[in-house]
Structure 1
Amino acid sequence: MHEYVIDESLRSNPLHVLLDRRTRHDPYPVLAELRAVSPLRTGDGSLVVGDYENCLAVLRNPAMGSDTLASAGLRGVLPGERQELLDSIFFMDPPDHGRQRRLISKAFTPRITDRFRPWIQGIIDELIDGFRHNGEFDAVDDFAKPMSMRMIGELMSVPSADLDMLREWSDQLALAAEFPALVAGFRSTAMFHPEDFARTDRTGTAMHAYFADLIHKRRRDPGEDLLSSLLSTRDRGDSLARHEVTNVLVTLFAAAHESVTNLISNGILALHRHSDQLAAYRADPSTGRLLVEEVLRYDAPVQLTARVAVSPTVVGGLDVEPGTIVILLLAAANRDSARYPAADEFIADRRTRTMQLAFGAGPHFCIGAAMARLQAELALRAVAERFAEFEVAEESLAYRRHVVVRGLSSMSVRFHL
């Protein structure tokens, strides 16, 4: 896959350094510099926000919309129609967003989420049993990625024979998550290659066709899965239309796979690099939920997002006019020492009342957060408990090119039972 293109037209934007592959292994010094001057106006009038207080305020501000690509300043910048992307609940504003979210939330109740606990544990056990005698595994390809994919397959009752195909599509579609925030942040598509858009178009079209066909089959033969639940959900006499269910499935499939894979692999790496915290967790496994929250805070799988002002507002004392693009550096906010003591340290059982922002906040708070947390908690517990010792081969670390989402493409782990 191509690296980002960093031409002279982008270098005047303070975010351009995040595109540099040399920043990828550790973007946090750069994010700290941006947080220190937050909020910061760019030359084109956008706003970059990296401190916790203002990031949270923007996420909760009704004057801030999520439909950045449809805003007057960006309409037409992204090549092609991109209607399927714009129809995603991620980039939808009221009233459509509230209506769809209300209906989708009924399929993600705590009762439904907890029902999958034994399935998740079974998948984890089977995967570990597959490589436990090898003394080594790739935390991404052998564990986090197949675990996430199989769990989504269970959730949606996707035929197991289709999972490899869907995993390939999901990896390709992850790039689509970069488009809205980066195009909005730079008001340009210059960092992308034409093939990036063409590949995403092909993949998106194929996934929509696949899930549309799956919906047709499930209407005739409903089951206990998420898809059947979405098709049968009713609220105030309302329901999701077929094309809405298709968009929801594609969005959830790609987002869930990406977030869970990165969360688990980032967590394994953090435990390897902080052996004292691994020992503390092993001494008290009941802190598993705290561990997951700390991984989300310390090395967030989603690093930044974008909003657009839909009415006049104020951010950090600065007047913001309608149409202004606001880039929120969630990963920078999560390491704000004004909210987190020893913010750059990884503390497995950190106790705080400050909510980490990796899953966002406000109307667009991640709808699948509970499911992602549960998968990560069980996966990290299994690694800590089933391997007496484990060590990440640092030379094996390879980060994907992405900026909006942060994740590894490979990570070799050696272990002793």
Structure 2
Amino acid sequence: MTTGQSAPEVGVGHNPLGALMDHAIRADPYPYLAELRERGPFSVLDGSVVIFGEYEHCSQILRHRDMGSDTSESPMIKNFVVNEEDRAASSIFFMDPPGHGRQRKFISKSFTPRIVSGFESQIRKIVDGLFEDFIDKGELDVVSELAFPVSIGIICDLFDIPQDERHMLKEWSDDLALSTEMPTLGAAIGVQNVFSVDEINRFGSNAMAAHAYFADLIHRRRKNPGEDLVSSLLATESDGDRLTRHEVTSVLSTLFVAAHESTTNLISGGLLALLRNPDQLAILREDPSVISTLVDETLRYDPPVHLAARMAKAPATIGGYDLREGDIVVALMAAGNRDPRAYPDPDAYDVRRKPKPMSLAFGAGAHFCIGSSLAKLEAEIAISEFVQRLSDMELDESSLEYRRHIVVRGLERMCVSFKR
């Protein structure tokens, strides 16, 4: 029911979010997202899921105290939560207060501006090494040879994971990332409408293996603490409270996926936008100081995270739509980031734009991304070095392949030829 405007209701069984799984739409979802934005807010699945796409509505949802991130009680996902222990061990991304605030308090101590700025030299060292690997080839896959190695290299350095153990995490990373979409897509579309039984079983096996690895890493750090994030989380205390071993294990698994997934997509997405807009690439080449606004514009124009789901914990009204307790509320942040009511000429990529209001790429409110400054620093360095070191770059459009992810959308493959 609506009070301020009439929101059309789609019949039971039809959910337009399912179209985001289509390969053609995944390659360029923005025209479709614009349709959903201008149509919304509207409900689907007999009114139990409500979709919002306007910037202001999405911002309100992400900041609203009665919009819970724990969607485990959604009818389409609750059967996949095995027991209370599993629920307690879930990602901080899908926690509500007080658990969320408690864990975030500890994690944030390890992502201060001073700590993040200290990673600049390490990021540059990784980027330099990658350029040495492909500079003489005249071509590269931006995703597998630059964006992914930078992002996963930094998170592994952050955890101080030994070089000979990193291959295991690389093997698990894609499944771990895809499995983190279950709480969102499961609640909004239905777990079995998105994932196969084999995938769900594989997710469980890899999650157990990853948790076992991080539990062992914690054991080693307890015996021999260092300057890494694992040691920091184990040592940090607040008002006499510390994270438990199980909580640290869960936090590490979550941060591992989140930190490199979003950064990989940000780097590859920024370079794709530049190569498709050579006038903007020329601006960066002539004026390297625009890199910070360029990364902000990339986050607005082609954000790593496209949508979020919340569960209404109490009745509320957003955008003139009356939400009932228990409704699943979907915020299409990628649609909001191109809302003409928030940004002039929103479909244009403008590296001098200073997005105001701030884009929704890293979320908003209590769940604003803790590692946003580190992700931006990695992207600034990788993109700047790519543009300044290489010339005559040519994108092979036929090489573009997108991963099967919907929430954290990004490229699987992107081939570019170049000259030194």
TM-score tier (shorter): over 0.9
Query: How far apart, CA to CA, are the structure 2 residues paired with 1:85 and 1:52?
Result: 32
Q: Does 1:320 align with 2:323?
A: yes
| One of 296, 299, 302 as aligned partner of 1:296 | 299
| 1:211 aligned partner, one-letter code | F
| Deviation larger for 180-189 or 223-232 | 180-189
Give 1:113's aligned amino acid: V
Matched AA of 2:41: P
1:121-160 → structure 2 map (5 Å cutoff): 121-160=124-163
Residues in 1 aligned to 2:282 and 2:77: alpha-carbon distance in whole angstroms = 52
Unaligned 5+ runs, structure 2: 1-10
Residue 78 (structure 1) shift: 2.7
Q: Does 1:412 align with 2:415?
A: yes
List aligned pairs for 1:194-205, cutoff 5 A. Answer: 194-205=197-208
1:74 positional shift: 4.3
- In structure 2, C-alpha distance between the alignment counterparts of 1:76 and 1:308, rounded to whole Å: 13
Instruction: Note the alpha carbon deviations across 1:78-119, whole angstroms, 9 max, x for none.
Output: 374592686210110001111111111011110011111100
Which residue, 36, 39, 44 being the options, matches 1:37? Answer: 39
Corresponding residue for 1:398? 401
Could you say what secondary structure the match of 1:137 adopts?
strand
Indicate how the Cα distance of structure 1 residues 85 and 402 shifts in structure 2: closer, same or farther if over 3 A, else same: farther
Structure 1 residue corresponding to 2:362, chosen from 346, 359, 362: 359
Tell me whether 1:271 sits opposite 2:278 in the alignment: no
Distance 1:415 1:131, change over 3 A: same
Contact 1:47 1:327 in 2 (8 A): yes
Look up the SS of the partner of 2:416 in the other structure. strand
Deviation readout 1:169-218 (Å, 9 max, x if unpaired): 01111111221111111245222110110110011000000000000000
* Equivalent residue, structure 2, for 1:5: none
CA–CA separation in structure 1 for the residues paired with 2:117 and 2:235: 20
Aligned positions, number: 408
Judge which range, 172-181 or 342-351, deviates more.
172-181
Q: Where does residue 233 of structure 1 map in the other structure?
A: 236
**Structure 1 regions of 5+ residues with no counterpart?**
1-8
Is residue 249 from structure 1 mapped to residue 252 from structure 2 by the alignment? yes
- Give the aligned partner of residue 6 of structure 1: none
CA distance in 2, matches of 1:406, 1:352: 21
Code of the residue aligned with 1:266 in structure 2: it is G
Identity of aligned residues (%): 50
Letter in 2 for 1:21: H
Superposed displacement of residue 143, structure 1? 0.9
Q: TM-score, normalised by structure 1?
A: 0.95
Alignment of 1:193-232 (within 5 A): 193-232=196-235
Aligned ranges 1:95-110 → 2 under 5 Å: 95-110=98-113
Asked if the contact 2:130–2:145 (Cα under 8 Å) also holds between the matched residues in 1, the reply is yes
- Assess, with a 3 A threshold, how the Cα gap between structure 1 residues 51 and 168 changes in structure 2: closer, same or farther: same
- 1:386 is aligned to 389
Q: Distance in 2 between matches of 1:208 and 1:281?
A: 42
Q: Contact 1:52–1:334 at 8 Å: present in 2 too? A: yes
SS at the partner of 2:194? coil
Tell me if the contact between 1:78 and 1:183 (Cα under 8 Å) persists in the aligned partners.
no
**Which residue in 2 is equivalent to 1:119?**
122
On the 8 A contact 1:120/1:375 being kept in 2, the answer is yes
Q: Is the 8 A contact 1:67 1:86 kept in 2?
A: no
| Alignment equivalent of 1:78, drawn from 59, 77, 80 | 80
Equivalent positions of 1:167-186 (< 5 A) are: 167-186=170-189
Report the TM-score, using the length of structure 2 for normalisation: 0.94
Q: Which residue of 2 aligns with 1:61?
A: 64
Distance 2:340 2:239 in 1: 44
Partner of 1:24, secondary structure, is helix
Inter-partner Cα distance in structure 2 for 1:115 and 1:244 = 26
1:207-260 CA distances to partner (integer Å, 9 max, x unpaired)?
000000000000111111111111111112211111111000000001111111
